[in-house]
């Protein structure tokens, strides 16, 4: 179908059925060289109509209101411009929960689900700890503290977070997500640079664990990021200095002051950063022991967990 005939179909009918719209979205996105045209058209319509994908296939003949039809055309147009699907629909599923997203805030990635799973496993290894206090540095949309809190809330365990971010926009979104999943009383959101807001408190806090998925893209990798990420997501959520290691240096250096003896540090990192981060730990953090790395679903090295030694003299 050429561009003209697609536009004609659109102009002719402001009322279409589900099947027509799916076909329209697929055709427009395919023309735009989108490799996932069909699945993205399905995903957009499924969010717009709030229907499962299977319900779309079973109800292809059902009419869609002129209002929703118009919205669908707008969404397809936005997608054609490269805007990430999650900014168009306003949602991203993470650990089975539908998180709100918003432009200017990092979109949660499936890699980070592994980090959350590791943290949950770690906490479950210590059932005798009835009350846990954790810190998330660079909270973004709030996925890490919210999924962990929500998991343990269902199990009747008291897991509490301090969650820090420099971005006001991110903190507003994270607070909204915390409310949505009833975790607002377990997460204390703070604005500022890494540990700074904690240093400004007039008391010192020690955590059972410090977690972070900091910005880790290097200058070299920045150029190779897909346009969708480089143009539309906030650079300050992605760029980690020349080698992508700036945040790890600071976090690894400062963590001992904020960790209880035996507490853990859990970090996501870029798939080529494992050795650099292990070296950073060896050179700067003799307070850390039992360093364990883990991989993501695609078998890329993706994260590290280390424990502060149990003696008090650090
Ligand atoms: N934790 C979220 C996740 O996993 O989806 C967001 C991770 S995103 C890669 C990194 C986050 O760190 C962004 O929300 C960004 O605003 C925040 N950030 C950047 N520089 C920071 C700093 N100096 N102090 C605290 N947060 C920072
Ligand atoms: N995994 C992200 C990406 O490449 C980067 C996340 C980060 O910098 N923490 O899109």
**Segment 113-149, tens digit of pLDDT:** 999 999 999 999 988 888 999 999 999 999 999 999 9
Name the H helices within 225-273: 227-232, 246-254
pLDDT of 312 reads: 54
Q: Which ligand 2 atom lies nearest to the CA of residue 225?
A: 4
Hey, whose CA ends up nearest to atom 4 of ligand 1? 213
What percent of the chain lies above the pLDDT cut of 70? 94
Q: Which ligand 2 atom lies nearest to the CA of residue 216?
A: 8
* Structure token digits, residue 33: 């060289």
- Among 34, 160, 177, 213, the active-site one is 213
pLDDT of 241 reads: 97
Q: Which ligand 1 atom lies nearest to the CA of residue 212?
A: 1
Span from the CA of 261 to the centroid of ligand 2 (angstroms): 30
Span from the CA of 238 to the centroid of ligand 2 (angstroms): 6
The DSSP line for 74-96 is HHHHHHHTT--HHHHHSEEEETT
Q: Is 213 a catalytic site residue?
A: yes
Span from the CA of 238 to the centroid of ligand 1 (angstroms): 8
Q: Which ligand 1 atom lies nearest to the CA of residue 109?
A: 5
Hey, whose CA ends up nearest to atom 13 of ligand 1? 237
Span from the CA of 136 to the centroid of ligand 1 (angstroms): 9
The ranges of the chain with pLDDT < 70 are 1-15, 312-314
pLDDT of 126 reads: 85
Hey, whose CA ends up nearest to atom 1 of ligand 1? 139
pTM score > 0.85 for this model?
yes
pLDDT of 13 reads: 64
pLDDT of 14 reads: 66
* Structure token digits, residue 199: 């240093």
> What domains are defined for the chain?
3-81 (no CATH), 106-307 (3.40.50.150)
d(CA 212, CA 137): 5
d(CA 105, CA 173): 8
Assess whether the C-beta atom of 138 lies below 6 angstroms from ligand 1. Answer: yes
- Among 94, 99, 106, 264, the active-site one is 106
Q: Which residues, 6+ apart, have CB-to-CB distance to 144 below 8 Å?
A: 112, 115, 116, 119, 136, 163, 211, 213
């Amino acid at each position: 179908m050429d561009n003209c005939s697609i536009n004609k179909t659109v102009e002719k009918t402001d009322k279409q059925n589900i099947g027509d719209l799916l076909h329209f979205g697929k055709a427009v996105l395919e023309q735009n060289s989108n490799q996932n045209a069909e699945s993205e058209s399905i995903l957009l319509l499924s969010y717009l109509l709030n229907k499962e994908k299977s319900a779309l296939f079973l109800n292809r003949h059902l009419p869609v209101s002129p209002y929703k039809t118009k919205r669908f055309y707008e969404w397809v147009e936005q997608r054609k411009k490269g805007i990430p699907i999650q900014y168009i629909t306003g949602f991203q599923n993470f650990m089975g929960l539908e998180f709100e997203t918003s432009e200017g805030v990092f979109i949660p990635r499936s890699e980070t689900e592994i980090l959350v799973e590791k943290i949950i496993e770690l906490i479950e290894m210590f059932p005798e700890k009835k009350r846990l206090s954790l810190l998330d540095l660079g909270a973004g949309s709030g996925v890490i503290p919210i999924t962990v809190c929500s998991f343990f809330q269902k199990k009747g365990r008291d897991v509490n977070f301090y969650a820090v971010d420099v971005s006001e926009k991110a903190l507003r979104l994270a607070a909204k997500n915390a409310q949505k999943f009833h975790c607002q009383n377990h997460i204390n959101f703070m604005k500022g640079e890494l540990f700074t807001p904690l240093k400004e408190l007039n008391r010192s806090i020690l955590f059972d664990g410090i977690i972070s998925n900091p910005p880790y893209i290097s200058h070299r990798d920045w150029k190779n990021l897909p346009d969708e990420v480089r143009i539309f997501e906030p650079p300050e959520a992605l760029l980690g200095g020349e080698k992508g290691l700036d945040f790890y240096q600071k976090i690894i250096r400062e963590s001992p002051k904020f960790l209880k003896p035996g507490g853990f540090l859990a970090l996501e990192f870029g798939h080529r950063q494992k050795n650099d981060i292990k070296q950073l730990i060896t050179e700067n953090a003799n307070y850390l022991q039992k360093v364990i790395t883990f991989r993501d679903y695609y078998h890329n090295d993706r994260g590290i967990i280390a424990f502060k030694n149990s003696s008090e003299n650090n």
